[in-house]
């Protein structure tokens, strides 16, 4: 095999350094905008930002726990459990109240918001790479529509919370599998075929949801379904957390260890194959993991749009497109973003607003700004 030995020579390399007349900035500006080396302070800043947000989330709203009480409450929980044990002589009603807020009420909610935000962002970023399309979101293959219909069906049957999650997950997987199957049957361009399959399946499952709403009891079930579809973390508890955490972590791990391949995949099917990547198996794995993340998110909190679309762009603006660093960054930014939105949903008005409504209100202008800046970088 030929080695890399003597240099190939070029004449007229002067053109190499000149910037294209149409490009908006100098090479340095572009480089700065897409700063390749992710400085350690970015990683630290992301972690600190999330921790601060968690602290704020505890400190505001009903049953507020200020930072000092939060710290002492956590210490009490682990080092002085007798204070919160009603059987103990040292039992304090106040300490137990704080403990319950930290670990049973606010804690699971904050953790789930972070996990779902990270999941939607991670799935969105992966899909944007796989479909080499920056306008793609995690529900492109119908996972949200499928998961919604599954969950609504469980609510129609008056099944308890656990089954709503299971039905949602099965519905999401079923929808995406159907989209993949349609793509196989049609034998069209593999990427475009998937998207078309996703659109068809989405509308199919959406009509299924409409039908469920039609037959649901309009006094009792319909409002529940309606509110749930708008998305909310209002009723999550530690059971939801336990149920969601395993599939979410599995999804995260699969996507993280495949992250570098997503770079190659983002150059399109033929190019990726010419570079020696088995696009079919890679794509299926990415679809599986992303569907898992998206469906579980829907199962936990209903339909939350725009996080999967907007956050990866924000992350890309911070660390560039390399999926090795983009995925973890997206997860942190997604968690922080959804936590902010959830806090607004909780405290902005007397009644809690469904988070899906807020993500759309915040997401749309946000998206316009980011997209405008990013497009300058790409083209």
Partner 1 sequence: MEGLTDMAPLIEVKDLAFQYSAHRGNVFQNVSFTVEKGEMLTLLGPNGAGKSTLLNCIAGLASPTEGSVKLNGEPVESYSTRRLAKHIGYVRQHIAVTYGYTVREYLVMGAAPRIGMFSTPKEEDYERVEEAIVDLELQKLADRTVSHLSGGERQRVAVARSIVQNPEVILFDEPTSALDFGNQIRVMRTCKQLVERGYAVVMTTHNPDQPILLGGRVAMLNADGTLAVGDAETTLTSERLSELYGTELHLVYVDEVDRVACVSSKL
Binding region for partner 1 (CB under 8 A): 1-13, 15-17, 19-20, 23, 27, 30-31, 33-34, 36, 129, 132-134, 257-261, 263-264, 266-268, 270-279, 281-282, 285, 316, 320-322, 324, 374, 377-379
Q: Nearest CA to 126 among 303, 245, 285, 277? A: 285
Q: Dig out the tokens for 87 from the structure.
A: 């059987």
Q: Dig out the tokens for 321 from the structure.
A: 């497109």
Q: φ and ψ at 348, to 5 degrees?
A: -65, -40
Give Rg (Cα) of the chain. 23
Q: Concatenated DSSP letters for 124-149?
A: HHHHHHHTT-TT--TTTTSHHHHHHH
Q: What angle do CA 200, 205, 209 make, to 5 degrees?
A: 150
- The rounded distance, in Å, linking the Cα atoms of 105 and 101 is 5
CA contacts within 13 A on the Cβ side of 347: 14
- The rounded distance, in Å, linking the Cα atoms of 205 and 88 is 54
């Amino acid at each position: 095999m030929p080695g890399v030995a003597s240099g190939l020579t070029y004449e007229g390399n002067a053109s190499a350094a000149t910037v294209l007349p149409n490009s908006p900035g100098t090479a340095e500006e572009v480089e700065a905008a897409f700063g390749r080396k992710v400085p350690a302070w970015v990683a630290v800043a992301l972690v600190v930002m999330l921790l601060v947000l968690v602290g704020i989330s505890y400190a505001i709203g009903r049953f507020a726990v200020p930072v000092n009480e939060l710290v002492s409450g956590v210490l009490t929980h682990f080092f002085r459990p007798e204070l919160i044990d009603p059987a103990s002589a040292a039992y304090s009603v106040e300490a137990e109240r704080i403990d319950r807020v930290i670990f049973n009420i606010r804690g699971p909610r904050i953790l789930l918001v972070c996990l779902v935000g990270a999941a939607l962002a991670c799935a969105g970023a992966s899909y944007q790479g796989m479909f080499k399309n920056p306008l793609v979101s995690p529900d492109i293959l119908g996972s949200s529509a499928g998961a919604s219909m599954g969950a609504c069906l469980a609510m129609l049957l008056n099944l308890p919370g656990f089954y709503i999650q299971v039905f949602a997950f099965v519905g999401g997987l079923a929808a995406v599998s159907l989209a993949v199957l349609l793509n196989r049957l049609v034998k069209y361009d593999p990427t475009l075929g998937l998207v078309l399959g996703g659109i068809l399946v989405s509308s199919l499952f959406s009509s299924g949801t409409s039908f469920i709403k039609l037959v649901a009891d309009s006094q009792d079930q319909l409002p529940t379904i309606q509110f749930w579809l708008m998305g909310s973390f209002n009723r999550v508890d530690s059971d939801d957390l336990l149920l969601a955490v395993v599939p979410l972590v599995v999804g995260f791990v699969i996507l993280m260890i495949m992250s570098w391949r997503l770079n190659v995949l983002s150059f399109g099917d033929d190019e990726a194959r010419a570079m020696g990547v088995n696009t079919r198996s890679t794509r299926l794995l990415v679809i599986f993991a992303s569907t898992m993340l998206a469906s579980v998110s829907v199962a936990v909190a209903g339909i939350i749009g725009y996080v999967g679309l907007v956050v990866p762009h924000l992350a890309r603006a911070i660390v560039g497109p390399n999926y090795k660093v983009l995925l973890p960054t997206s997860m942190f930014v997604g968690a922080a973003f959804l936590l902010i939105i959830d806090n607004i949903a909780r405290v902005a008005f007397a009644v809690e607003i469904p988070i899906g409504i807020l993500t759309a209100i915040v997401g749309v202008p946000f998206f316009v700004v980011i997209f405008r800046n990013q497009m300058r970088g790409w083209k």
